[in-house]
Structure 1
Amino acid sequence: MPEYLAPGVFVEEVSFRSKSIEGVSTTTTGFVGPTRYGPLDLEPEIITSLVEFERTYGGREKLGYANAGEVDNYMWHAVRAFFEEGGKRLYVSRVFTPQDETDPWSGHARGGLPGSPSPLAVFARFPGAFGDARVTFTFKMGQSVLVADGSEPGVRSLVSRDVVWIRPSTAGGGSPGAAEGYYLALWDAVNDTWAFSSNGDDLATADVQLAQLTPGAYEMRIVTVTVTVTPLTGSTVPFTSPELPLDPDHERAGSPDGLFDYFSEEPASLSRASTLPIVFREDDVAGFDTGVEVLNAFFNAAPGTGSPATGLQAALEDNDSAPAERSVSIVLSDGDDGNRPQADEYAGVTTPSDRKTGLVAFEDLEDISIVAAPGSTFGYKEADYGPTARTIVRALIRHAERMKYRIAVIDCGDDQTISEVRAMRAQLDSTYGALYYPWIRVLDPLTQREIHVPPSGFVAGIYARNDVNRAVYKAPANEVVNLALGFERFLNKSQQEVLNPEGINCFRYFEGRGMRLWGARTISSDPEWKYVNLRRYFAYVERSIDKGTQWAVFEPNGEKLWANVRRTIEDFLLNEWQNGALLGEKPDKAFFVKCDRSTMSQNDLDNGRLICLVGLAPLKPAEFVIFRIGQWTADRKV
């Protein structure tokens, strides 16, 4: 209760409305599997288009496994299908199995500046053949920052530990000044001035003091570098960094770090960690103390080859030269796609540094409602890979069951016969999974040939399209498959009569109606949870109520709280009934909500439990539409 200690008028805000429950999203999807590139143990970021996927996880090219040969990029095809069929939001968890488990950099493309050993090594940030790239370091001289500050020399826009080039102001005229060269700018806080060192960062050994530089007689230009990374394969847009300072300990606050910090093993943000394509390993750059040393390493890697000199240093000092002439390029090579990922990689782990991989990475993402592992069942019939595929399918189902509000979309194996897919289905039983058959034939934009790809990407997109255009309570079936040119096997009605009762959802071709998804059953033996839309609608209701009633935790557990909880849930379910989601001509026939002493014992109250009983009458799909037609005489009355 508020305290009223002095006379006066007190105006207070109160609420006369019950709390509201907002329906949660049911279309956000999570795909787990191998890609050409991208992070392995970072928190997945939401993807809203195929272009965004390619920017982080590489292009459409095939994957080349050391132990399994070349395989179609099923993840790319699944992502493409997901967005083409109507998907909106997607998370991807990449899995990778290195050829050398003992080498943390196995599979990473690598290169370095010329020299033996290389004075500077560069690695692709993530493993994969897509990491093979050309890395171009383009150096730039800024405008002169040396100005007159009254009768004394001064500088503008100079930051401590910038690398600067000092020379006589008339290039090429007269003899070089004593101060000409490349220096590390150091702020002398004691004497309130600048000093410049060519051989370290100790003020005591500085070569030049600001007072020695006469404005007009000298110019001082800041040297920066831009890094461009162009993949050697694929059509991904090259990455280009901002202008970066060269010094490893640069102190420019509020702008990009130094070159090594920007591309360090542990970047400053999650966004950088997932998008920066290269990395300088900490041990490899430990020998560079100043930006002048870094610049000299590049000068030595691209020396002059004639008279006058034509190397990097000469091109950089000729400020009118083209940018390409002030560049040094190196090639990263020998990246590889490792071995084909196994079940452990799909299941995922929490690393000692609290990073998560595989399906474990999805556990902290509450908005995911659909999970799939596109391509994991390729080779399901093979003796050496079949057990792995079956284990991955079970891991996917266990994940959905553990997370409660998700459904696992399961691919059948490639090129399976009806008897083989029935045998696969016979090993599964869960209300949180749905199996789809057969694989779908599409045109591969890479080879311009028709190939077969797993159905999960199409199904997840159809789920999303169904939820947006209709509602989650409508069965995601009798929907057109937009990208399909055909199917691995064309099924007729008699064949589906065998598969459908066992919970195997089929794709069918109907003349005049195109390629359609023609099934909406789960792989559950429990008839109460036979349909996909029923499982997904209850997940939607349960999660919406879960999120919308968090305010009730730690409230006084009495009649007032119970009434508020009842009103909150009843208002939500009434809206669902009005939208046509529940069966019944009146609300009291469509649902009930009980939260009173009849649902809680004294023991429950003593142990801090509030128990609310909610019952729904959900709509089930008209899977069999039956018209009974008979003869009728014209003079007979109804």
Structure 2
Amino acid sequence: MPEYLAPGVFVEETSFRSKSIEGVSTTTTGFIGPTRYGPVELEPELITSVVEFERIHGNRRQLAFTDDVTLHNYTWHAARAFFEEGGKRLYISRAFRRPDDALYTGLDTTIDLGTGTAVSNEYNDGHARALLDASANPKTDTLSLTARFPGSAGNLRVRFSLRVGQNVLSFEDGTPRVGALLARDVVLIRDIQSPISSPVGTGEFYLATWDEDVQDWKFTGGAGSPLFLASLQENAGFEIRVVTVAVTVIPMDDPASAQTWDGLALDPGHTRSGAADSLSARFAYDADEPAKNRDVPIIVSTQNLDDGVEVLGAFLDASLASPIMSPPLDSALEDPDSPESQRSLEVLLKGGSDGMRPTADDYKGQQVPNTTRKTGLFHFEDLEDISIVAAPGSTFGYENGYGANAATIINLLISHAQRMKYRIAVLDSGNGQTLGQVRALRAKIDTSYAALYYPWVKVLDPVTRQPIFLPPSGFVAGIYARNDVNRAVYKAPANEVVNLALGFETNLSKAQQEVLNPEGINAFRYFEGRGNRLWGARTTASDPEWKYVNLRRYFAYLERSIDKGTQWAVFEPNGEQLWANVRRTIEDFMLNEWQQGALLGEKPEKAYFVKCDRSTMSQNDLDNGRLVCLIGVAPLRPAEFVIFRIGQWTGDRK
């Protein structure tokens, strides 16, 4: 309450409106499954297209697991189906199992390359690795390279191109000056006028630092060190050129998507303004901030190389060890007109692996010990906007050796959706299942927080150019999103065309669906003249009150919208004024829902009621700080069975 201590006119703002509730999004989806690349324990990024998916998680090529299992990239296919069917927002949690059959224990942090064991085959975690100079002894005296994330897509070609800039040395009244020179730049100092009688320091590489004691640039590392700028004489033919490196990363299976970072300083301690920075900073890994540089596909460690001159020396040593480098790299650097091919080194990162096929433990995930990072389904617990979850491809092989894992993953999805309250799990049937087998799968499930779909969808594989069968969940999640945008969340997501479908693994008849539908198994069917359609909208609940998918999803929408829109009421004085404000806020929201056609009833009072007064709260509730509001809703159920009764009529009958 404001204080009025001195006489005067006081103008204050006040509000005469009730608080409003804004409907939450119901289309954001989370997929969990193996991919060819990408983070395992970092927080998932929001993806809005297949292009973004491929940038983060690799392309569409098949996954080659080390346990002699090759599978279609079901997560990529699901993301593609999701966006093609109308989805807009997607999160991916990557499930990865180490090739050595060890449980995941913080893969992204085990990349310490400070020892010679960095490239040992005994240390197999799925990362591709390489040394700039494989013959270096000890191994720590050269640069080591590691793919930032595990996966076969981490097998890369990396090209280092050393570049010598323009002369930055000039003279003003006989006093040497340098422009565009920064502390810890590596420079080439040479005498181009009289090389035969050149003084000490000609044609050498130095590290430039500013000496506070003498207030002059000092150059160290080359012959005659230290060399000061003031010692250079005008007309002696000296020039100073800054040496930088450009790094080009070229995926082995997609050379067209190569990326280049130019103008990087060689010294590990160098700091540049703008887009450029040092080689080791741009391609660094920070254990305290692992998301740093997550878009950069490799990690470059300078290991025991302390300054830029030593890093440059590692490049020169690698060129001498290379059987194809001619002339030597240092000679090419001293010639400003040398072609880039003579100033470049290429390294091949090898050993990247897709790991083993993930098991239920990998889908479940964990809290990485001693960190705030998570894996698996734990990722999605921190993302409040997700409304749909699925594990595309996790049921492949349900009837052929993977059934125990697939059944456990289904239970994990259901448990996750129930725990998060405002989500629904889209469940896949197994590939190649018969009606009896999918009914047996369904018989083990009883929840309103999940919906099961059968059979798998036939599409044209853009990788093999052959028809393949894909799990339904990616298509269904996209159809959910399209239905919500084009119609509304209260409309059943069924009788919808499956855009990418060429057909289905099993062509169901009406008689077959009459067996599946009462058990809550949603079918895809082909109709003559109407195409391939999703023809079911039931949950896996035995409770008839929560029989339909749109009911579960609509109540999740209402509950979460009210949850978010009434947070202002917490810690307000718990009395009549607050109760009236809460009632008015929720009634306004429900009235808007009724006007949009979401509720059953020709009048608002028949469609919903909101009670928040002494009849809903006891004195014990008030004493314990509880405000209890009772909301009744008359939702619309889908016209699942449209019945027309027709008979003969004669004109003289009443």
Q: Do they fold alike, i.e. is TM over 0.5? A: yes
1:151: Cα distance to partner? 4.4
2:336 equivalent in structure 1: 319
1:271: Cα distance to partner? 5.8
1:106 equivalent in structure 2: 125
1:304: Cα distance to partner? 9.6
Amino acid in structure 2 at the alignment position of 1:417: T
Judge which range, 337-346 or 236-245, deviates more.
Answer: 236-245
Which digits, 9 at most, give the CA deviation of each residue in 1:605-633, with x for residues without a partner? Answer: 11111111111111111000000111111
1:174: Cα distance to partner? 5.2
- Residues 41-440 of structure 1 mapped to structure 2, 5 A cutoff: 41-100=41-100, 101=102, 104=110, 106-117=125-136, 118=139, 119-149=142-172, 151-170=174-193, 175-180=197-202, 181-198=204-221, 206-214=225-233, 217-234=237-254, 237-253=257-273, 255-266=275-286, 272-281=292-301, 285-303=302-320, 310-352=327-369, 353-383=371-401, 385-440=402-457
Whether the aligned pair in 2 keeps the contact of 1:305 and 1:311 (CA below 8 Å) is: no
1:635 equivalent in structure 2: 652
1:635: Cα distance to partner? 3.0
Q: Kindly tell me: are residues 370 and 211 of structure 1, through their superposed partners in 2, closer, same or farther at Cα, counting changes over 3 Å?
A: same
Amino acid in structure 1 at the alignment position of 2:156: A
Normalization by structure 1: what TM-score?
0.94
1:561: Cα distance to partner? 1.2
Q: Kindly tell me: are residues 139 and 304 of structure 1, through their superposed partners in 2, closer, same or farther at Cα, counting changes over 3 Å?
A: same
2:577 equivalent in structure 1: 560
Q: Kindly tell me: are residues 269 and 213 of structure 1, through their superposed partners in 2, closer, same or farther at Cα, counting changes over 3 Å?
A: farther
Amino acid in structure 2 at the alignment position of 1:498: V
Moved over 6 A (4+): 267-270
Judge which range, 42-51 or 568-577, deviates more.
Answer: 568-577
Amino acid in structure 1 at the alignment position of 2:614: R
SS at match of 1:608: coil
CA–CA separation in structure 2 for the residues paired with 1:190 and 1:467: 70
1:455: Cα distance to partner? 0.6
Q: Percent identity?
A: 63
Q: Kindly tell me: are residues 305 and 500 of structure 1, through their superposed partners in 2, closer, same or farther at Cα, counting changes over 3 Å?
A: closer
Which digits, 9 at most, give the CA deviation of each residue in 1:216-242, with x for residues without a partner? Answer: 632211111121111112466112224
Which digits, 9 at most, give the CA deviation of each residue in 1:476-526, with x for residues without a partner? Answer: 000000100110000000000000000000000000000000000000111
Amino acid in structure 2 at the alignment position of 1:394: N
SS at match of 1:446: coil
CA–CA separation in structure 2 for the residues paired with 1:111 and 1:305: 14
Judge which range, 396-405 or 176-185, deviates more.
Answer: 176-185
CA–CA separation in structure 2 for the residues paired with 1:115 and 1:443: 44
1:532: Cα distance to partner? 0.5
Whether the aligned pair in 1 keeps the contact of 2:174 and 2:233 (CA below 8 Å) is: no
Judge which range, 345-354 or 172-181, deviates more.
Answer: 172-181
Which digits, 9 at most, give the CA deviation of each residue in 1:47-87, with x for residues without a partner? Answer: 01101101111111111112242111111111111111111
Amino acid in structure 1 at the alignment position of 2:244: T
1:143: Cα distance to partner? 2.0
Amino acid in structure 2 at the alignment position of 1:223: V
Which digits, 9 at most, give the CA deviation of each residue in 1:209-262, with x for residues without a partner? Answer: 110124563221111112111111246611222421111111335554421122
Judge which range, 476-485 or 269-278, deviates more.
Answer: 269-278
Amino acid in structure 2 at the alignment position of 1:376: S
Amino acid in structure 1 at the alignment position of 2:211: D
1:149: Cα distance to partner? 4.8
Whether the aligned pair in 1 keeps the contact of 2:170 and 2:177 (CA below 8 Å) is: yes
Judge which range, 96-105 or 508-517, deviates more.
Answer: 96-105
SS at match of 2:446: coil
Match status 1:13 vs 2:13: yes
CA–CA separation in structure 2 for the residues paired with 1:192 and 1:92: 54
1:585 equivalent in structure 2: 602
Whether the aligned pair in 2 keeps the contact of 1:261 and 1:267 (CA below 8 Å) is: no
Judge which range, 398-407 or 549-558, deviates more.
Answer: 549-558
CA–CA separation in structure 2 for the residues paired with 1:552 and 1:235: 56
SS at match of 1:142: strand
Which digits, 9 at most, give the CA deviation of each residue in 1:5-36, with x for residues without a partner? Answer: 11111111111111111111111100000000
Judge which range, 596-605 or 95-104, deviates more.
Answer: 95-104
Which digits, 9 at most, give the CA deviation of each residue in 1:582-602, with x for residues without a partner? Answer: 111111111111111111111
CA–CA separation in structure 2 for the residues paired with 1:380 and 1:558: 57
Normalization by structure 2: what TM-score?
0.92
Whether the aligned pair in 2 keeps the contact of 1:54 and 1:236 (CA below 8 Å) is: no
2:115 equivalent in structure 1: none
Amino acid in structure 2 at the alignment position of 1:31: F
Amino acid in structure 1 at the alignment position of 2:2: P
1:622 equivalent in structure 2: 639
SS at match of 2:355: coil
Whether the aligned pair in 1 keeps the contact of 2:286 and 2:292 (CA below 8 Å) is: no
- Give ranges in structure 2 of 5+ residues lacking alignment: 111-123
Q: Kindly tell me: are residues 268 and 317 of structure 1, through their superposed partners in 2, closer, same or farther at Cα, counting changes over 3 Å?
A: farther
Amino acid in structure 2 at the alignment position of 1:534: L
CA–CA separation in structure 2 for the residues paired with 1:357 and 1:215: 63
Which digits, 9 at most, give the CA deviation of each residue in 1:128-148, with x for residues without a partner? Answer: 111111011111122222233
